[in-house]
Amino acid sequence: MSHLTFNAIFISDLHIGSDITNYKKLFKFIEDIECKKLFLVGDIIYRNLQEPSLELERFIKLLESKECEVIYIIGNHEKSRKVPMPKILSSVDMHKNYIYQAIKYKILIEHGDSYDTKDKVLQSLKYIDKRTHIKLKNQELKKVIKKYLSHILKAIAKVVLHKSFSRYMILRAKRNRCNTVICGHFHKSAKATDLNINYLNCGDWIGNCTYIAEDFNGDLELYRYY
């Protein structure tokens, strides 16, 4: 039996198809886990992935080798795709959000991207990112600088807006009569309680390699995979 054996596991922001995902740790993690339910909490597939990649095919094979129910929550990368989701995922059950009656908690599971249209500061940062023009003849250098500036703005958003984001998600849980919310989107793993509602963010599999697990006593904990 695996030492990573839980009742349920929650992971988000894998961005499979990108060149920044930590595939080595991700695949080893999927091989190691045993659970009854595996929740994929959005941004699993990178928005620009056109056809199934070797990484996606391996990921699906690993999922198929597991004796667990897989529940896929749609994130902004899935929503913003210009082409349909890869057919290899046709057998996976997908949801906009999901209410999970766990052992101890009633959990609202959402990616969290609905927050993006609500916060004026985030909208301003996105506008700056979109409207930043760099006058350089070297297109490759221009692309690198633009990407770097975009990363800076995202980093600012994570630091400045995370408290606002967590409060937003907590209120969404409250409106859905849940006492816990599990989400992703901000790539910032966290566990907190506010308004008597538990907030847990899965983090990501780019820099953090974190996940949330419900044990067989019903307790929820945030873990980092090493």
Q: Which residue has the tokens 């600012």?
A: 156
Provide the residue-wise pLDDT of the chain in tens; the chain has 226 residues. Answer: 567 999 999 999 999 999 999 999 999 999 999 999 999 999 999 999 988 899 999 999 999 999 999 999 999 999 989 888 888 888 788 999 999 999 999 999 999 999 987 645 555 555 455 655 555 566 776 565 556 556 665 666 666 678 889 999 999 999 999 999 999 999 999 999 999 999 999 999 999 999 999 999 999 999 999 9
Q: Say whether domain 4-114+178-224 belongs to CATH 3.30.2130.10.
A: no
Tokens of 2: 């695996």
Helices (H), the chain: 23-32, 54-64, 76-79, 120-131, 139-175
The whole-model pTM stands at: 0.84
| Domain ranges, ordered by start, for the chain | 4-114+178-224
